[in-house]
Structure 1
Amino acid sequence: MNVSLLKHIYVSIPKLIRLLIGITLIMTLFGTAVHLIEPKQFPTIFDGVWWAFVTGATVGYGDYVPLSTPGRLIGIMIILTGGGMLAYYITTLSAVAVDRKFKERHGELAYNGVDHFIFIGWNERTRQLIEMVYQKDPSKAVIVIDQTLKTKPETHSFIHYIHGNPALDLTLEKAGVYSAERVLITANTSQSEDQADRMTILTALAVRGHHQKVPVVTEILTDKHINNAKRAGATTIIRPNDFLSTLLYHELMHTPHATPFENILQLLNNQQFKQVSYDQIESYKTFQEASAALLEQHQILLGVIREDKWIINPGPNYTFKNTDTLLMFASWTNKKAPE
């Protein structure tokens, strides 16, 4: 092992660890020396090292005291050198803590956890979504990537903020995209719809390049970019314009005393969609049989997906096929599959 390699290893060690190793070596040296000079006052090397640390920290318990001139000279050297190093270590430790807090607030601190959510884009949609996730699962870590925020949102101290362009490798690596559970890419509504969709697709490509299996949920504003988003690796494509247009139509055309928007909002807040292959519940042949059985499990059968077609609320005698997928509602607390 040559000198340059040793220097490289030494420099690669964090500054605090280097300081701690240096202080430990110096105190061990002084403690060993005082033990050899005054073995009666310091019966073991550990006793000498203990005295060196206590003296260097200016604590001075008085349980061990050098009596000879050489021993006292060692004490003076400890105060002049070791004491300074200990003070420098404590100062450095404080500076590291302050620097970490600064980096965390300004989105410069990398996230090192696993199984977390990554939300790309800070807006009212992600703000409300974060609060929903926190209410249902406070232990779930949420990472927010945004390049418009100057500092981490003070009202959401439980999130981890990353400042930067989400399409860049460095930004995604800081967010721990390799170990993320899910990624959500929201559209930047401050841009034109076409430009926002292009940025969303570029970000989806960057995410997929880092993690081939992570589910990527994207928000696409225009129909012409849906296929591009699929090719970019989007697992789910949210089309807010389509959804809002349909919802507005219901609000305009609904029957008296109906409240479509509130109904859908409350439904989605309290229930979750579930899709189950028919082969998991083959004991039920018709829609009526399956509906009755699922109701006993607090699940509501809505319809069937057959050959990429959604058949909602078919007749009671509707017969299932082996290739069907059943669409149902279930409580958020209901995690098990239908029996």
Structure 2
Amino acid sequence: MGEVFAVFTIRRLATLIRKFNNISLLLAASAFVIICAILMRTLEPERFTTFFNAIWYVMTTVTTVGYGDLFPETAAGKVVAMFMFVFGIGLVGVVIGKVVDGLGSFTRRKEEGRLIYKGRKHIIMIGWSKKTEIAVNEVLESDTFTDIIVIAQTDRLPLNHERLHYIQGDPTDRETLLKANTLNAKAAIIFADELIHDASLTDGKSLLIASTIESLAPDVHTTVEIMQEKHIQNFNHIHVNDFILAQETISRLAVRSALSKGITTLYNRLIRRGEEEGGELFEIKPRKEWKTYRDAFNALLAEGATLIADQHRLGVNHLMDTTIPEETRLYVICEESVYVKLKHSEER
């Protein structure tokens, strides 16, 4: 009868405790453990020679571990122990359950894209597709520091990485972009929505997303994938840094391949990160001692890199004696080890 009453009491107590908020529960459990430890230390100082021993006994009791290395001997100590049996087990058990539920809830909310991202200098990718997955893997392999935020309207992402974060929501909504901390992002890539089969509607949605980003964070480098080149003029009223022509690029590359066998291999080597020798395409900043493109070309060649372009201009070989403009971006082909040395020289 006594055991039934104790079980009933613990269940009733647990039900009442669950109605408290988490902070109140934590404070109540901490106070309960400390008070019980003080009582045990006061009532049986010879058994519990230190306050730590008393804490140890209370914790092993209320968590039902019960090692048996310490136990009360006096009647008063046993009364306190019974008090812990009836009230402490229920209280601490609920607290532990709350902690476990909280950790599980955090993981679940992160996977479902319902957490706010608070980092900085990250890359935002909008829309989930096979192209997005390839882009995510490319960033993870090429950059060991930059976080990636994917904004989409799927239940959860099939990829899992400590630097990959998901925000579920409508990318045309400012609140969704704020959750991705767009204000402090380094770049945003807008992929064409593959669920929309009309090219005009697809580019129209991309335009709306780009406009929202522009109004919220005008300094973010924005890249937009569009379906038809003629739609680029519709983006004139906003600032888009780069456009990717989805269908035209594939078609033109196929024609180039037919006319010049093997040229697609060269294109792929330029845009894809690989382990083959020959180098990859990298961006560098011009040095102060480089006055003309010839200065830059010769200096880079001596260090193992080949200058091929200035921003969008590929004809650098025709500009050798031209002064390099300020704030320009140079592109070189070199191996990654050479690029690391070049970056180190920029920072000095």
> Which of the five TM-score ranges fits, normalised by the shorter chain?
0.7 to 0.9
Match of 1:10 in 2: none
Instruction: Answer yes or no: is 1:319 the counterpart of 2:321.
Output: yes
Q: CA deviation at 1:64?
A: 4.0
Q: CA deviation at 1:210?
A: 4.2
Q: CA deviation at 1:165?
A: 1.0
1: distance between equivalents of 2:335 and 2:189? 20
Q: CA deviation at 1:157?
A: 1.9
Contact 2:306 2:334 in 1 (8 A): no
Q: CA deviation at 1:208?
A: 3.8
- Please point out which of 82, 93, 97 is paired with 1:91: 97
For 1:225-244, list aligned pairs within 5 A: 225-229=231-235, 231-244=237-250
Instruction: Answer yes or no: is 1:157 the counterpart of 2:160.
Output: yes
Normalising to structure 2: TM-score of the pair? 0.75
Contact 1:202 1:232 in 2 (8 A): no
Identity percentage over the alignment?
23
- Structure 2 counterpart of 1:29, one-letter code: I
Instruction: Answer yes or no: is 1:186 the counterpart of 2:195.
Output: no
Q: CA deviation at 1:75?
A: 0.9
Instruction: Answer yes or no: is 1:199 the counterpart of 2:201.
Output: no
Match of 1:107 in 2: 113
Normalising to structure 1: TM-score of the pair? 0.76
SS at match of 1:330: strand
**Alignment CA distance shift 1:326-1:235 (3 Å):** closer
- Structure 2 counterpart of 1:90, one-letter code: I
How many residue pairs end up in the alignment?
313
**Alignment CA distance shift 1:47-1:83 (3 Å):** same
Q: CA deviation at 1:69?
A: 2.6
SS at match of 2:240: coil
Structure 1 runs, 4 residues or longer, greater than 6 Å off: none
Match of 1:7 in 2: none
SS at match of 1:310: coil
Q: CA deviation at 1:329?
A: 2.2
1: distance between equivalents of 2:123 and 2:253? 28
Match of 1:5 in 2: none
1:20-52 CA-partner distances (Å, limit 9, x unpaired): 322111111222233344444445555433332
For 1:246-261, list aligned pairs within 5 A: 246-254=252-260, 258-261=261-264
Question: Which consecutive residues of structure 1, in runs of 5 or more, have no partner in the other structure?
Answer: 1-13
**Alignment CA distance shift 1:178-1:311 (3 Å):** closer
For 1:206-285, list aligned pairs within 5 A: 206-229=212-235, 231-254=237-260, 258-269=261-272, 270-274=279-283, 276=285, 280-282=289-291, 284=292
**Alignment CA distance shift 1:275-1:196 (3 Å):** farther
Q: CA deviation at 1:152?
A: 1.9
SS at match of 1:323: coil
1:97-119 CA-partner distances (Å, limit 9, x unpaired): 33334333333344444433221
